[in-house]
C-alpha cells in the first residue's frame, strides 16, 4: 500500500442484516492486511428497505435507481473514493447509479465472476431473489465473463425467494430453510453446476460451504475483498 487508504462508500440497508456483514468484513480484512489497530476507512449510507421493496414489487426500477443514485451522490460528497452497492438485486440499476457519480462503482457480479474464473469453473448455479435469478441483468453480466449460468426450476426459485424476504431479511435463520437450500444446491449440482453463486447478500447468513457438494461463492465477501484491494492500492 502507498499513501492513505481510499474511503469505501457503502450503499446499504437492502437489507441491513447483510449491510452489517459488509461493515464487519471490511474492517476484519483491513485489520488482517495492515495489522494492529487498523480498520477500514468507510462511509455507510443505509436506506429504508421497505421503500425499495415496494418499488421492486411494483416494477418501478427507474424510481428505485433514482433513489439510490441520490444516496450515492451523498456518499461521494462525503468523501467516498469508491462505491459498493451492498445488494445483488439492486445491481439491476447499477448503471443508473454509476452515471450519477464520478467515483467508480465496483460491480458485485464482476468481482464474483472473476473469482469463479480463477477457480476454473465455467458452469455455475445462481441463487438469489427471483429478480436476480429470472431477469437478465445479473445472469448476462456473469455470462459476459464467459460463464454458463444455471438457475433452479420455478418451484425452487419461489422457495429461495420466499426465504430471503420472509426470513433472512428479518434476521430469521431456520434449520428447515437451510435444508431447503441444501436440496436446491444439490439439484443444481446434479444439473451440471460445478459451483454455486450465493447471489443474494442475505443467503450467506444461512448457507456456507459445508452445505454444498460443490464450491460456493459468497458474493458479499468477494465484493468486500475487491473493495479492500482497491482501497489499499
CA–CA gap between residue 93 and residue 41 (Å, rounded): 26
Q: Which of 42, 86, 169, 200 is catalytic?
A: 200
Q: Is 169 a catalytic residue?
A: no
Task: Write down the domain spans for the chain.
Answer: 8-106+221-231, 109-219
Contact of 172 with 188, CB cutoff 8 Å: no
Q: Quick: pLDDT tens for 47-105.
A: 999 999 999 999 999 999 999 999 999 999 999 999 999 999 999 999 999 999 999 99
Say which CATH class 109-219 falls into. alpha beta
pTM here is 0.94
Report H helices in 78-153.
94-99, 108-118, 130-134, 136-143
Q: Which of 86, 87, 132, 201 is catalytic?
A: 87
Q: Quick: pLDDT tens for 16-33.
A: 999 999 999 999 999 999
Q: Is 148 a catalytic residue?
A: no
pLDDT at 233: 86
pLDDT at 100: 98
Query: Count H helices, E strands: the chain?
Result: 10, 7
Contact of 221 with 88, CB cutoff 8 Å: no
Topology classification of domain 8-106+221-231: Rossmann fold (3.40.50)
Amino acid at each position: 500500500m502507498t499513501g492513505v487508504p481510499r474511503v469505501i462508500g457503502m450503499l446499504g440497508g437492502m437489507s441491513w442484516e447483510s449491510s452489517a456483514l459488509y461493515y464487519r468484513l471490511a474492517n476484519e480484512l483491513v485489520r488482517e492486511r495492515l495489522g494492529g489497530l487498523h480498520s477500514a476507512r468507510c462511509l455507510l449510507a443505509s436506506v429504508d428497505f421497505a421503500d425499495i421493496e415496494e418499488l421492486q414489487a411494483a416494477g418501478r426500477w427507474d424510481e428505485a435507481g433514482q433513489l439510490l443514485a441520490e444516496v450515492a451522490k451523498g456518499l461521494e460528497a462525503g468523501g467516498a473514493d469508491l462505491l459498493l452497492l451492498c445488494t445483488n438485486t439492486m445491481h439491476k440499476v447499477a448503471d443508473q447509479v454509476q452515471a450519477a457519480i464520478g467515483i467508480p462503482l465496483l460491480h458485485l457480479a464482476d468481482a464474483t465472476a472473476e473469482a469463479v474464473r480463477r477457480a476454473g469453473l465455467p458452469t455455475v448455479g445462481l441463487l438469489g431473489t427471483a429478480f436476480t435469478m429470472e431477469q437478465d441483468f445479473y445472469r448476462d453480466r456473469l455470462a459476459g465473463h464467459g460463464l454458463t449460468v444455471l438457475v433452479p426450476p420455478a418451484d425452487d426459485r419461489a422457495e429461495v425467494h420466499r426465504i430471503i424476504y420472509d426470513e433472512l431479511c428479518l434476521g430469521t435463520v431456520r434449520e428447515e430453510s437451510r435444508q431447503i437450500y441444501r436440496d436446491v444446491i444439490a439439484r443444481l449440482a446434479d444439473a451440471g453446476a460445478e459451483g454455486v453463486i450465493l447471489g443474494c447478500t442475505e443467503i450467506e447468513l444461512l448457507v456456507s460451504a459445508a452445505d454444498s457438494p460443490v464450491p460456493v461463492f459468497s458474493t458479499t465477501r468477494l465484493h468486500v475483498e475487491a473493495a479492500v484491494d482497491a482501497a489499499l492500492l
